[in-house]
Structure 1
Amino acid sequence: MPFLDWVNKNQAQEASREVPYHLLKQELVYGDSAENLLIQGDNLLALKALIPFYAGRVKCIFIDPPYNTQSAFAHYDDKLEHSQWLSMMYPRLVLLRDLLAEDGSIWVTIDDMEAHYLKALIDEVFGRKNFVANVVWQKKYTIANDAKWLSDNHDHVLIYAKESHVWQPNKLPRTEEMNARYRNPDDHPKGVWKATPLHAKSGSESSKSFSYKFKNGVVWSPPAGTFPRFSEETLHRMDEGDEIWFGRDGEATPSRKTFLAELSEDGTPSPTVWLHTEAGNNHEAREEVKSFNTENPFDTPKPEKLLHRIIHLASNPGDIVLDSFLGSATTAAVAHKMGRRYIGIEMGDHARTHCILRLQKVIEGEQGGISKSVNWKGGWGFRFCTLGEAAFDEHGRINQAVRFATLAAYVWHFETGEPGQQAFDQPLLGIHNGTAYYLLYNGILGDRKPSSGNVLTHAVLQAIHDIFPHTGRKVIYGETTRLGAARLAAENITFKQIPYDVKMR
């Protein structure tokens, strides 16, 4: 597979690994839920900060990155040359992929200016086999009469699965317009139906010569270049059940009666062209933003209808939705109304002037956007955090501000590759693949001095045996150990020293 190359690509490939972990500093809690998170800060640093806690947990990622067309906020430096833009995007895509669940997906809006570059870039990070579709979204429905060449009326939505062989999107609900195409001119007992072809575009070469004689004497073969959609046995069954349509006069090409009652109740697969009547448009989006901030409108918002469709297709209630270019908080607002947990990251002051304000109004029950269609009444809440200090300095030493639970999440993720979801309030962090992991840090055993209990002594080991027994392999992190190599081996213990063996930056 061909790859993109650009100036400083090597540095871009290393950036996600080199960027330091930072602490998240809670500034505000609004409402009655701590499950939703709004972060103000550089999204590269914020994404790295989330890794120990959310790696492999996010079901749906939506991002609307700067398009490199001078249309985004100044703090995203949206005047970059192509190489700089690619270097900005690459490490963020790597971290986003790490955060996605195995059955998760990422949806990226982009315009014609960078779509071809971005497609090749995501192919490289996610794997071309995980490409799902390129949706064309009608962002404008009026013609720009002053356009230099053609009127720009659409954006792209690039869709990738984390693992395409396990990802299954939801379906769209059937509309009244779709159902109106089904009729029952022959009063069939199965109800309304629609005539559909008996042939398909693909099939086995041996079936090209297929022919079938119906009980009324009509002989049917697939048209040239096509293949039979059904076997002889299936056609016989449908013929006997009066499920073949020959037209009102009996002279039409045979077709199948596809009954509405037999279609999946889950809905219909999404098309790859989304009209503004179905998925909103830029004008709607700007009006939605004006409803909560008239003094400082957002230049490039996305409509709630668009995010409603994406989140519906890509997630279920309770799943985690993430947007690392949050902008005016459309993704968070829609996820909130749809009962999804969410994480939003926004770099500039819009985190406070737009995102907080919008989410507060959502909690209060605002009725704009999709509120009426989802019967939104208000409630729930979110936490607002900023980026704190780096968790580790350039020499790998642990920042004194790091508390036990935070370091425990880092250690657990490094050792197991799993996110730290459990309540880390004891030395035993958990058991993974038969190995028990322990952390001695900040006097977790209840000693009066914070530094006490951080050393693996005979007494501390006995306390671990008494309180947290485990007969298999044990990995213990601590400041140092007073146990000799023979005793450690006899106890099946691998000791790792803090901070030197904590493999985090």
Structure 2
Amino acid sequence: MPTLNWIGKEKVINHHQDVPYKTLEPQYTFTNGKVSKAATSQNKIIHGDNLEALKSLLPEYEGKIKCIYIDPPYNTGNEGWVYNDNVSDPKLKKWLGQVVGKESEDLSRHDKWLCMMYPRLKLLHKLLADDGAIFISLDDNEQANLKLICDEIFGIGNFVGDIIWQHSIQGKNDAKKISLHHNHTFVYCKKDFQIGRLKRTDEHNKAYSNPDNDPNGKWRSGDVRSPNLRENLIYDIITPSGKKIKAPDIGWRWSKELIAKKIKTGEIIFNDDETKITRKIYLNQQQGRVVESIWFGKDVGTTRDANKLLKTIFDNDVPFDTPKPIELIERVLEISTDKNSIILDSFAGSGTTAHSILNLNQQDGGNRKFILVEMEDYANTITAERVKRVINGYGEGSKAIEGTGGDFTYYELGEPLFLDNGFLNEDIALDKILEYVWYSEAKTPFTKPKEDYLLGAKNDTAYYFYYQKDSITTLDESFLRSIKTKANQYIIYADNCLLDQSIMDKYNIVFKKIPRDITRF
């Protein structure tokens, strides 16, 4: 398989493992139309660097995200966008200097963009469910590069397709070369993804009728010839009156016996002089419609439509030039999620993804959950504010839109779990430390047991984290006598260990020193 190389790749290919694990600190919960400091929601809006935020989501969400939609910077080189669509941004320069080193001074803007995207895609791959899919929107600036690194990370066999979205309908006569009307959306899956079908409309059904009063209902004509060469299905068909219809060069769609059966049931019919044959495709047998690779603006909205909506929501004060329409994201969700799916957007922008999810939940009574990540300062004033207004309702007069209902919790990225010297950050809440250590061992979400120091049990192994913030802990016989959980093996974290090896062997005890032996993931 072809692979893409660029300056700095060797420094970022495993950088996702070096990203510091930071806690997520809830700031407020928006529920019932009001801000509250009470219980948190399953919907999350996170303000902070999305690379660090994705790392912080792993303990709870690894392998659980059904649909990921991202609209990353397109790397157009345009400056001044609120989307920060320029890889020369000072934040990125600083990050590249830290991760890539002096080589970053020689990077082209394409090198920088790839260095930025690669570790994020690695973490997104970890978060994606086995039956999930990721949708990545972008234009021609980086689509060729993105295809190659996605082939590398997700696997070339997991490429589902490239959806072309018509983002504008009106041409640009001032275009220097070709007036562009489209964006790409690459779709990749993990391994078990089954793409859904789209709803049928009256427009899609207008070709169906029932001129012969067929009891099976409306139908349209279909080809009886094979879609590809089938030499074993080349035979002549005898009509009811004894005429012969010569086999096409490509062969028939079905065997001689099956076609004879379909002629008897009336599913296959002849024209009046019995020189041609056709099959009936019944409307009641059509389960939705297959997803096509071109999505037209008239069906899923355009950038102009999205701008009009934002003006309505924000009373004409819209700092975004190219938001995505909610109809586009709703279609993504229609073909990739069910009513209980978790959806992630780590380049959240104006919050279109959450808006679309709330709309769908309102329409079908679903319980889809969203996680949005936005690194820019407008995460609260625009991203979260839009979601609040969608929940409450927005617009005035004839343009007023009823609220969808719903809730979310707004988070800031907290402090790193480990200090620069490798020690645990003791300012971090104990539950957050326990959640991290348990996930590093069991790769499952943490539920605090009632027994002191017990992290949990899995596969007949009990895990203990014997930690006290203000004192040194020692694994000794006294601590062993306090253990209540029965297991075939014990993994016990502590500051020190005074047990004889014979005792450890007798009870199958593995000692892990805090913080040295805590796995960094």
Q: Is TM-score (shorter-chain normalized) higher than 0.5?
A: yes
* Cα distance in 1 for residues equivalent to 2:275 and 2:46: 63
Aligned to 2:188: 160
Going from structure 1 to structure 2, the CA distance change for 1:235 and 1:428 (only over 3 Å counts) comes to: farther
Of 431, 440, 444, the residue aligned with 2:457 is 431
What amino acid maps onto 2:71 in structure 1?
D
Deviation string for 1:378-416 (max 9, x for gaps)? 322111111111111233211112223222222222223
In structure 2, the gaps of 5 or more residues are 33-39, 89-107, 362-367
The answer to whether residue 479 in structure 2 is matched with residue 460 in structure 1 is yes
With normalisation by structure 2, the TM-score equals 0.87
Match of 1:321 in 2: 343
State the one-letter code of the partner of 1:400: E
Percent of counterpart pairs with the same letter? Answer: 35
Where does residue 331 of structure 1 map in the other structure? 353
1:274 maps to which of 280, 295, 298: 295
Q: Distance in 1 between matches of 2:256 and 2:293?
A: 33
Q: Which residue of 2 aligns with 1:47?
A: 54
Q: Determine helix, strand or coil for the equivalent of 1:278.
A: helix
Matched position secondary structure for 1:159: strand
Letter of the 1:230 counterpart: W
Q: Secondary structure at the match of 1:291?
A: helix
Displacement of 1:11 after TM fit?
1.0
**Mapping for residues 9-408 of structure 1, pairs under 5 Å:** 9-31=9-31, 34-71=41-78, 72-73=81-82, 75=84, 77-78=86-87, 81-163=109-191, 166-202=192-228, 204-207=230-233, 209-220=234-245, 223-224=248-249, 226-247=250-271, 249-251=272-274, 253-264=276-287, 267-293=288-314, 294-339=316-361, 340-366=368-394, 377-408=403-434
Distance in 1, Cα, partners of 2:369 & 2:168:
30
**What TM-score do you get using the length of structure 1 for normalisation?**
0.89
Deviations 1:35-55 (A, max 9, x none): 011111111111111112211
Q: Tell me the matched-pair count.
A: 483
Change (3 A) 1:403 1:213: farther
Paired position in structure 2 for 1:445: none
Partner of 2:4: 4
Give the alignment partner of residue 499 of structure 1, picking from 515, 518, 521: 515
Secondary structure, aligned partner of 2:483:
helix
Q: 1:270 to 1:485 in 2, by over 3 A?
A: same
CA offsets, 1:170-204, max 9 Å, x none?
A: 21111111122111111111111111111232354
Deviations 1:47-92 (A, max 9, x none): 1111122111111000001111135546453456111111111111
Q: 1:237 to 1:484 in 2, by over 3 A?
A: same
**Residues 227 and 112 (structure 1 numbering): CA distance in 2 closer, same or farther, change over 3 Å?**
farther
Q: Cα 1:156–1:52, aligned 2, differ >3 Å: closer, same or farther? A: same
Q: Distance in 2 between matches of 1:156 and 1:74?
A: 18
> Counterparts of 1:219 and 1:161 in 2: how far apart (Å)?
49
2:426 maps to amino acid: Q
* CA distance 1:245–1:376, change in 2 (3 Å): farther
Task: Report the counterpart of residue 36 of structure 2 in structure 1.
Answer: none
Q: Give the gaps of 5 or more residues in structure 1.
A: 443-449
Letter in structure 2 aligned against 1:130: N
Residue equivalent to 2:438? 412
Q: Are the counterparts in 1 of residues 243 and 274 from structure 2 also a CA contact under 8 Å?
A: no
Cα distance, 1:422 vs structure 2 = 3.3
**In 2: Cα distance, 1:382 partner to 1:262 partner:** 41
Which consecutive aligned stretches of 4+ in structure 1 deviate over 4 angstroms post-superposition? 423-426, 450-454
